[in-house]
């Protein structure tokens, strides 16, 4: 396992949608290593979710672990996810590993039902509320090339873009 580099906004690779994973390839060492690396990267960051697109791999895979600090790990792997139902609304203070140090109030569905394949290629459906529902929608957005900043109003979007642009420029010149 290895910790991969997490892409930070405004890196253009964050806008590249993930491609579906061929179910016949899920058992391949390459995909299994990717999932292990994603988990190690997410826990090291630390975060509650990570999409393959955030580490520059344009595949439809994301992982989530919303277990509390005093709870055992509850790592969930979603391959080729589809949100098949969502309803009600919730405003959640979200962060994102691709926007270090940033939190924003984001409106999302309070309840979702998602269908995906697990790391063994087995199909599953999950119904989720609250943090898990928010995390599923957030990570699924990454697979579509959509980012947290896209869900903000024009003024907040412009301010966050400038902040992240300055951060990227400072990082490049360092």
Active site annotation includes 30: no
Name the one residue in this structure whose structure tokens are 């691709």: 98
Q: CA dihedral in degrees (86, 88, 94, 99; nearest 10)?
A: 50
**What pairing do the DSSP bridges indicate for beta strands 61-64 and 49-51?**
antiparallel
The annotated binding site is made up of 96, 138, 142
Q: Which of 71, 104, 139, 169 is catalytic?
A: 139
C-alpha distances in Å from residue 98, one per residue of 3, 7, 89, 138:
15, 6, 24, 12
- Per-residue tokens: 75: 């790592």
Q: Which residues are registered as beta bridge partners of 62?
A: 51, 78
The annotated binding site for Fe cation is made up of 96, 138, 142
Active site residues: 139
């Amino acid at each position: 396992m290895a910790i991969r580099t997490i892409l930070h906004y405004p890196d253009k690779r964050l806008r590249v949608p993930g491609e579906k994973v061929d179910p016949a390839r899920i058992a391949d060492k390459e995909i299994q290593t990717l999932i292990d690396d994603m988990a190690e990267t997410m826990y090291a960051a630390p975060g509650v979710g990570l999409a393959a697109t955030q580490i520059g791999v344009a595949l439809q895979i994301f992982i989530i672990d919303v277990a509390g600090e005093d709870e055992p790990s509850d790592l969930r792997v979603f391959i080729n996810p589809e949100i098949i139902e969502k309803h009600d609304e919730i405003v959640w203070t979200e962060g994102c590993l691709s926007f270090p140090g940033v939190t924003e109030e984001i409106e999302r569905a309070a309840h979702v039902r998602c269908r995906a394949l697990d790391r063994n290629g087995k199909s599953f459906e999950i119904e989720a509320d609250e943090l898990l529902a928010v995390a599923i929608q957030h990570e699924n957005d990454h697979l579509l090339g959509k980012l947290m900043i896209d869900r903000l109003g024009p003024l907040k979007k412009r301010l966050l873009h400038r902040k992240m642009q300055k951060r990227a420029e400072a990082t490049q010149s360092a």
